[in-house]
Amino acid sequence: MLPNTGRLAGCTVFITGASRGIGKAIALKAAKDGANIVIAAKTAQPHPKLLGTIYTAAEEIEAVGGKALPCIVDVRDEQQISAAVEKAIKKFGGIDILVNNASAISLTNTLDTPTKRLDLMMNVNTRGTYLASKACIPYLKKSKVAHILNISPPLNLNPVWFKQHCAYTIAKYGMSMYVLGMAEEFKGEIAVNALWPKTAIHTAAMDMLGGPGIESQCRKVDIIADAAYSIFQKPKSFTGNFVIDENILKEEGIENFDVYAIKPGHPLQPDFFLDEYPEAVSKKVESTGEDGGTWFLDLKSKGGNVGYGEPSDQADVVMSMTTDDFVKMFSGKLKPTMAFMSGKLKIKGNMALAIKLEKLMNQMNARL
């Protein structure tokens, strides 16, 4: 773990989506220095499935030595952003760091992405980041620290990252393109950088997507918080960078990354947009083997059922892949998540149920 230096004492950090997950972890790391944290997030009332509100986050921040200002902010609403900025200036006197963390995700292809979901991703990820940055920049210009940090990936134009979830990729890359533009626009005044994890990060949202057991393939949010904290220590001249959490922490002298693992020693799921596994990710998909036809697997009815042909009831999830890749997946040689990310596995229907397939595969292989 990266130790605190106290250098953020008295600094004001404005964080979108800070009521839980990565945003709250960054807030807590800065709060341990005695920083002022503006919690700009939507959740004012307890969520039925996700723990934490802006008020519970504020309590945690103050418990570790920081000062908190909880603000109800939907980043799609420019007036709510402006109101939160005004409150921050009135209470703390300025803004030193902005973290654009709020984000929306839908891993669906073009025909399966409703316009409402497209608008949500574009308005939260791309537009929301722009609006929050625009509102904070006049005050960041007055700061000696002056950092904008977007939680967004490097701009990897490998088509594999577009073909299965084009809308999400474009919405997320919009956040990264602001780094390119604003780093040049405000060079010498404000450092503007992006931060992205090398592996999957365990959050409440990840639990909802992947189901129980997914956490063993993830790292804790602490690794992103430590990486962000490292960036905040750097001068304004450190700008326009697309930082990977593990890489910057290695530069800080961190050698033992097991401390960040939920389950030390367990294989980790690589995050999207990084070509860490070229054979699995970058290679063009080639169709091999004969078509095995259509099969169904029923895990809902008592006792379960499997057979050839269409199921009697409408399927919740439809998966398409070649026979060879199907065999590799069920024998444990190809992870379902990597198969999907590389385009070998195409999914229609309930994505949350589909993501749980990997846990099922692991359980089956453990019993074989």
Using CB atoms within 10 A of its CB, is residue 346 exposed (0-12), middle (13-18) or buried (19+)? middle
Give the C-alpha separation, 260 to 224, whole Å: 10
**Cβ neighbours around 243 below 10 Å, total:** 21
Has 277 been annotated as catalytic?
no
85 in Cβ contact with 107 (< 8 Å) = no
- Which ranges constitute the DSSP H helices of the chain? 21-31, 54-63, 78-92, 115-121, 128-140, 160-163, 166-185, 204-210, 222-232, 245-251, 278-281, 323-330, 336-341, 351-355, 357-367
Using CB atoms within 10 A of its CB, is residue 222 exposed (0-12), middle (13-18) or buried (19+)? middle
| Phi/psi of residue 96, nearest 5 degrees | -105, -30
Give the C-alpha separation, 248 to 195, whole Å: 10
Query: What's the token pair of residue 62?
Result: 């103050």
Amino acid at 224: I
Amino acid at 200: A
DSSP letters, 200-225, are: -B--HHHHHHH-TTGGGG-B-THHHH
Query: What's the token pair of residue 160?
Result: 């594999």
**Choice among 168, 173, 178, 260 that is catalytic:** 168
296 in Cβ contact with 310 (< 8 Å) = yes
Q: Containing H/E element for 14? A: strand 12-16
Please list the active-site residues: 168
